[in-house]
Chains A and B, each alone.
Chain A
Amino acid sequence: MKLEKRAEPSALMVYLSPVLALLATLLTGAAIFAILGQPPASVMTAFFIDPIRDFYGLSELLLKATPLLLCAVGLSLCFRARVWNIGAEGQFILGTLGGGVVALACNDMESGFGWALLVASLAGMAAGMAWAAIVALLKDRFDCSEILTSIMLNYIALQLLLWAVHGPLKDPAGFNFPESALLVEDLLLPTLHPDYRVHMGLLVALGAAAGLWLLISRSLLGFQVRVFGESSAAAEYAGFSARAILWFVLAACGALAGLAGAFEVLGPVGQVTPNLSAGYGFSAIIVVFLGRNHPVGIVLAGLLFALTFIGGENLQIEFGLPRSITQMFQGMLLFYLLAADFLINYRIRLPGFAAREARA
C-alpha cells in the first residue's frame, strides 16, 4: 500500500470523507457494543434512529442544534480567516449574561415584552461581541495568540457567570440557591409550534448559515476573509486591511455565540443558571470541522452532533450504558473525519492496482 499525493484535491472526497468517517465511527461503535455484549444493531438504532422517529423527536433535535449552529457559523467565519478562536464558549456565556441581565430587568414590565425580547437578544449579541473583541484587541495590538487568549477568556467568563448567579443575579425569592428568577412567559422566545420547544432561534440560526453562504460565495468581504486566511501579507498586498478582517470575523463570531447564549436564557431555560452552556462553544468547533467549514455541511454536522447527545441519553435509558459513550463517539467521529480528510489530497495505491489501471 502506498500513499500518493493527488495532483489536485479530490472534489469527490470532499463530500465523501464525512460519510466515510461516519461509517467508520458506526463500525467501530458496533464493534465496541458487540464486545460489551450489547446487540450492535439495536444499540445503533437507539442511538441514531429512535431519537428522530417522530416530529417531537425532530423538534428536540432542532432545539439542541440551535445554539450549536449559531456558534458554529460564527466559528466557521473565524476559521476561514484562519483566526483560531477557541472562545465561542466564553462568548456564549457572556451572551447569557447580557441577555439575562436585560431580560431580568424587564421581568416586571406590564407590556412591551416584544421589544424587551429584542433588546435582550441584542444585549446578548453585544456582550458576546465585546468578549470576542478582547481577543481581537490582544491579537491586533499585542500580537497575542488568539488560541491562547480565547481559551483563557472561556474560563474567566465561566467564573463571571458563577459570580453573577451567586451574587447580583440571584433570585431574591429563590431560597438563596444560585440561580436567577424565572423569566415571565411573555419574555420567552415564541416557539415554532405550540406543542414543541423549538423556538424562533432556529430560524435565526438557519438564517445565519444562509448569510454565511452568501457572504463567502457572493461578497467581496467573503473573498477578503478567504485571502486573509491564506496569508495576511497577501491581504495587505491586495489592498485591504487585515486588521479590519480580524476584527470583523471575531466580532461576528462573538455576536453569534452571544446570541446563542441569550437564546438559551430566553428560550428553553428561561432563567440564568450556573450551567447554561453544556459546552456548546467547544462542541461547535467540532461541528465546523465535521461540516467541512461549509454552511450546508455545518447545518448537517450540527444536526448530527445534536443527535449524538440525544442518542447518548437513549443508550443510558434503554441499555443502561454509561454516558461517557457519547463523548467517546464524538471524539472518534472527529478523529475519523480528520483522518479521512487526508484522502482529499492523497490517494491510497494498493500494489497491483496501478498496473491494472495502466492496462485499462
Chain B
Amino acid sequence: MHTTRKPRFQGLRRYLAGALLPLFLAGGAQAQAPLKVAFMHENPVGQGGWTLSHELARKKLEEHFGDRIETTALDGVPPGGDAERVLTKLARDGNQLIFATSFGFMNSAVRVAKRFPKVKFEHASGYTTARNLGTYQIRAYQGRYLAGYAAAMVSKTGRLGYVGSFPIPEVLRGINAYTIGARAAKPDIQVEVAWINSWSDASRSREAADLLIARGADVITHHTETAASIQAAEKAGVWSVGYQTDRSAFAPQHHLVSVAHNWYPIYVRKVQSVIDGTWKPHVDWVGVEEDATQLVGWGPEVPEAVKTAVAGQRQRMIDGDLRVFRGPLSDDQGVQRVADGEVPDDAALISMEWMLGGVIGGVPN
C-alpha cells in the first residue's frame, strides 16, 4: 500500500476551476442535473462525535456548491448486510459519488463498487481501493501531536490524562502522537490512559476523567464520541482537549483546544473532481497542509505563548520539517518499533497496534 501524493498546484487549479465555473453556468449549462452525492454513517449523529464531524462538512459542502449538488445522508447504518443494502440503494438511486464513513463499511463498499462501475465510492479510514473505490483519512495524529504539545506546555503537574475507548490502531495512533507531541514540549511529561471499552458511554467517560484528574492529571483528552470527559475536566477546573468536533461549548472556562476533523476540504476536492470528470481512486490521507485536522476552540485562558508555539510546530509540519513519528520509537514492552531516524510509512501507521513506551495504562487484552 502506498499513499498517492497530491500533485503540486492542485489547489491553484481548483481555484481556477472554481472561478471559471460561473462562466460555464452562464453559458447555458443550467440544464445540467445536479450531482447526487450521498453519505452513509455508522454512528448516530446524535452521539455528537465522528458522524457529526462529517455532517458539518456536508452542510458546508451544500453551501459551497449550491444547486450543483444534491446530498443525502443516513446515519445509524449497521455495518454488514444492512450497509451493503443501503449502499446499493444509494447507487441505484442515481448517486454518482458515495461516501461510506466508517471502517466497518469497507468490505460492503468493495462489493457494491464492483456492481456499480460507473458510481464513484469513497471509504473513510480503510485500506482497500478499487477501480471506482477510493479511500480517505485525516491525519488526525498531526492534530494530536499539536494538542499534546500545547497540553504539556500548560500542564503544571506534568501529567496528562487520556480517556481511550478501544485499543484499535486509530486510537493508539492518537495516543502515541499526543505523547510524542507532549514530550517534544516537555521531555519528562507523563501520559496516562484509561480505557472505558465503549465509544459512547458518557458516564464511564466521565468516571475515567475523574479518576485521571484525581491521580494528578491536569489536562484531559478523550477518544470517545461523548464529551462527558470534557465536562468532568471543566468541573474539576483542569484543562481539556476535545476531539472530533469543537467541544469548547462543554468547557467554556478551561478548554485548552479541540482537535477537530475538518472533512470539508477533502469533500470539496472529491466532489469537484467528479464534476470535472477527473476523479481517480486515491488513497488520500490529508493532514495539516489542507487544514483537515485543525486546532479550534482555544479557551479564553490559554496563554498566547502556547498558541504561538503550536502554530510554529504546525508550520514546521506543513513545511515538512517535522514528522510526528520518527525513530527511534519503542513500545511499552521495550520492543523497538521504529528504527533510529526512520519515518514509518502509512501502512505502518494504519496498522499501529502498539503503544509508546512510558505511557501509563497499557493496552488492554
Contacts and interface: CB of A to CB of B under 8 A. Distances in A.
Contacts of B80: 264, 268-269, 273, 275-276, 278
Contacts of B252: none
Interface in B55-99: 72-82, 84-86, 88-90, 92-93
A317 B90 contact: yes
A313 B86 contact: yes
A275 B104 contact: yes
Contact of B81 (A167, A179, A268, A314): A268
B139 to A, nearest CB: 16
A275 B169 contact: no
Contacts of B103: 177
Nearest to A316: B74
The B interface is mostly helix, strand or loop, or mixed, namely mixed
A275 B86 CA distance: 16
Interface string A311-325: 001101100100110
Given A167-B365, A197-B84, A278 B90 contact: no
B81 A63 contact: yes
Interface stretch (B276-284, B285-293, B317-325, B349-357): B349-357
Given A269-B80, A273-B80, A323-B76, A176 B86 contact: no
Interface residues of A, number: 34
A167 B350 CA distance: 18
A267 interface: yes
Contact of A177 (B46, B85, B169, B347): B169
Contacts of A269: 80-81
A153 to B, nearest CB: 19
Given A166-B365, A197-B84, A178 B166 contact: yes
Given A166-B365, A176-B169, A275 B79 contact: yes
A270 interface: yes
B74 A270 contact: no
A167, A267, A268: residue with the most chain B Cβ atoms closer than 10 Å: A268
B79 A310 contact: no
Interface string A244-280: 0000000000000000000010011111011110100
B127 interface: yes
Nearest to B90: A317
Nearest to B38: A317
B79 A175 contact: no
A167 B72 CA distance: 36
B107 interface: yes
A64 interface: yes
Given A63-B81, A323-B44, A175 B76 contact: no
Interface string B2-40: 000000000000000000000000000000000000100
Contact of A176 (B84, B104, B351): B351
Interface residues of B, number: 36
Interface string B328-363: 000000000000000000010011110000000000
Contact of B169 (A56, A175, A264, A309): A175
A163, A175, A267, A310: residue with the most chain B Cβ atoms closer than 10 Å: A175
B74 A323 contact: yes
A163 B78 CA distance: 19
A166 B166 contact: yes
B77, B79, B166: residue with the most chain A Cβ atoms closer than 10 Å: B79
A178 B168 contact: yes
Nearest to A61: B85
A317 B89 contact: yes
Contact of B85 (A64, A175, A273): A64
Nearest to B85: A60
A280 B107 CA distance: 21
A167 B168 CA distance: 11
A318 B109 CA distance: 21
A177 B104 CA distance: 9
Contacts of B365: 163, 166-167
A175 B350 contact: yes
A275 B85 contact: no
A44 interface: no
A204 interface: no
B168 to A, nearest CB: 6
A253 B78 CA distance: 25
A178 B106 CA distance: 13
B166 A317 contact: no
A271 B80 CA distance: 9
Contacts of A274: 104
A182 interface: yes
B46, B80, B168: residue with the most chain A Cβ atoms closer than 10 Å: B80
Interface in A128-179: 163, 166-167, 175-179
A182 B106 CA distance: 11
Given A163-B365, A175-B351, A313-B89, A271 B168 contact: no
A177 B168 contact: yes
A313 B90 CA distance: 10
A178 B102 CA distance: 13
A276 B79 CA distance: 8
Nearest to A315: B74
Contact of B107 (A182, A275, A320): A182
Interface string A169-196: 0000001111100100000000000000
B166 A179 contact: no
B107 A271 contact: yes
B351 to A, nearest CB: 4
A314 B72 CA distance: 11
Nearest to A182: B107
Given A175-B350, A323-B76, 16 more contacts: A63-B81, A166-B166, A166-B167, A175-B127, A175-B169, A175-B347, A176-B168, A268-B84, A273-B104, A276-B80, A278-B82, A310-B85, A316-B75, A317-B90, A323-B44, A323-B74
Interface of A: 56, 60, 63-64, 163, 166-167, 175-179, 182, 197, 264, 267-271, 273-276, 278, 309-310, 313-314, 316-317, 320, 323-324
19 contacts: A64-B82, A166-B167, A175-B169, A176-B352, A176-B353, A177-B168, A177-B169, A178-B168, A267-B81, A269-B80, A271-B107, A275-B80, A275-B104, A276-B80, A278-B80, A313-B74, A313-B77, A316-B74, A323-B75
Interface of B: 38, 44, 46, 72-82, 84-86, 88-90, 92-93, 103-104, 107, 127, 166-169, 347, 350-353, 365
Which 10 pairs across A and B sit closest by C-beta, in order of nearness?
A268-B81, A175-B351, A176-B353, A323-B76, A278-B78, A269-B80, A316-B74, A176-B351, A176-B169, A175-B350
